[in-house]
Structure 1
Amino acid sequence: MRRKTNKICKQSGVIPYRVRDGKVEVLLITTRKRQSWVIPKGGVCKGMSPSDSAAKEAWEEAGVVGQVNSEKIGAYKYRKRGNIYQVHLFWLPVEKVLEDWPEATQRERIWLDINHAAMIVKENSLRRILQSSKDQVKIYSSY
């Protein structure tokens, strides 16, 4: 008996971060139904690189703007409505936090220490990426 193979949907996302008082903070957002904390992510837009598409998602979903680092920091998979999604992640040093953005009425956002953020994100594989990349973001934030 052959097993049905599910198509893997490609997405890109960012971990928005800033440095406050020498400490790295990351921005998490809620899902649209405000059920859990996640990072901005979405399908890769046609004609855009994964990192540029991730920057667009950050603006739409979280209201943050910055120059996404084009070096992928990791990837994780999750299931939603019977589909499997693979998210390629990039760092986004936040340069501007907007008061109004496309999904402002649908989501909440919160800045947290990276350790705390890792504890409350929904996906275990995203949690592991956050925990293992603490030193990496400190290097990027020193540029």
Structure 2
Amino acid sequence: MRRKVNKVLDQSGVIPYRQRNGRIEILLITTRDRQDWVIPKGGVVKGMSPPASAAKEAWEEAGVLGQVDANKLGTYKYRKRGKVYRVKMYLLPVDMLIDNYPEASKRYRRWLDVTQAIKLIKKDAIKRILKVFIQTKLSYNISINNTNL
């Protein structure tokens, strides 16, 4: 008897962030039903790289524009409606925040301190990636500060 092989569907997403008053803030969005706080993500569009596809999702779901860092920050898997998804996560320093974007009527968005964002997100895998983000930005800021000495 043959076993059914579950195909893993590829997605990509971003952690949209900005620096404000010397602090790093993360932009979270709600799911379409506005029940949970999440990060922008979606299926990788055929013919697009995962970072480019993640940038497209960030625009559609959160109304943010910026240059996605092509270096993958982390990966996580989840199940939904019997399917398995693998999400590659990237950083997106936000250059512009647009009020009129495709899913504006379906989602809320909110800028939060990283520790507040971690508290609001339910998925442990996303919390883990946000903690990696904190470490990455902290070491990046330390190295920049040391070069200015």
TM-score range, shorter chain: over 0.9
What is residue 22 of structure 2 aligned with on the other side?
22
TM-score w.r.t. length of structure 1? 0.93
Which stretches in structure 1 are left out of the alignment for 5+ residues? none
What is residue 10 of structure 1 aligned with on the other side?
10
Render the CA deviation track for 1:34-83: whole Å, top value 9, x for unaligned.
Answer: 11011000011111110000000000000000000000000011111111
Which stretches in structure 2 are left out of the alignment for 5+ residues? 145-149
Partner letter of residue 79 of structure 2?
R
Cα offset, 1:32, TM superposition: 0.4
What is residue 62 of structure 1 aligned with on the other side?
62
Cα offset, 1:124, TM superposition: 0.8
Is the aligned partner of 1:72 residue 2:72?
yes
Contact 1:78 1:123 in 2 (8 A): no
Render the CA deviation track for 1:16-42: whole Å, top value 9, x for unaligned.
Answer: 000011111000100001110110000
What is residue 129 of structure 2 aligned with on the other side?
129
Alignment RMSD: 1.5
Cα offset, 1:98, TM superposition: 0.3
Contact 2:13 2:87 in 1 (8 A): yes
Stretches of 4+ aligned residues off by more than 3 angstroms: 1-5
What is residue 104 of structure 2 aligned with on the other side?
104
Tell me how far apart the structure 2 counterparts of residues 118 and 30 of structure 1 sit (CA, whole Å).
14
Partner letter of residue 57 of structure 2?
E
Contact 2:63 2:99 in 1 (8 A): yes
Is the aligned partner of 1:120 residue 2:148?
no
* Identity level (%): 57
Tell me how far apart the structure 1 counterparts of residues 34 and 58 of structure 2 sit (CA, whole Å).
17
TM-score w.r.t. length of structure 2? 0.89
Partner letter of residue 119 of structure 1?
K
Tell me how far apart the structure 1 counterparts of residues 61 and 137 of structure 2 sit (CA, whole Å).
22
Tell me how far apart the structure 2 counterparts of residues 118 and 70 of structure 1 sit (CA, whole Å).
23
Tell me how far apart the structure 1 counterparts of residues 131 and 71 of structure 2 sit (CA, whole Å).
18
Count, aligned residues: 141
Partner letter of residue 77 of structure 1?
K
